[in-house]
Amino acid sequence: MKKIEAIIRKSKFSAVKKALHQKGINFFSYWDVTGLGNEKMGSVYRGVSYSTSDIQRRYLSIVVDDSFVESTIEAILTAGRTGEVGDGKIFVSEISEAYRIRTGDKGKETLN
């Protein structure tokens, strides 16, 4: 099993969610995050331009069976890409074990 963590633009979340559902990924967690990155956001308030380094993004956490890793990554890359700085990052890590609390099941059966 693998854990795929993705930090994406909030504006791309609906497209990424749809792409994941089309690949059969129906269970994942997400939340809004603020971070720092290479993208420089600027704003204009009452005619005055100012820069802010805090960037609003959406963070996704997805645990999948090894057979779904490539299709999950491809769905995020395709749906989340704008081609501009600040599109986000994807991280993949190994999950050694998983348990379903309700039944006590363990292993990849917990993902269904």
Which of 5, 2, 22, 4 has the alpha carbon at shortest distance from 14? Answer: 22
- Alpha-carbon gap, residue 51 to 60, rounded angstroms: 27
Q: Specify the CATH number for the domain of residue 36.
A: 3.30.70.120
CA 54 to chain centre: 18
Give pLDDT tens digits for 1-50.
Answer: 999 999 999 999 999 999 999 999 999 999 999 887 766 656 666 666 65
Give pLDDT tens digits for 60-99.
Answer: 999 999 999 999 999 999 999 999 888 999 999 999 999 9
- Alpha-carbon gap, residue 112 to 108, rounded angstroms: 8
The C-alpha angle 104, 108, 112, rounded to 5 degrees, equals: 80
Range of the domain at 26: 2-111
Number of domains in the chain: 1
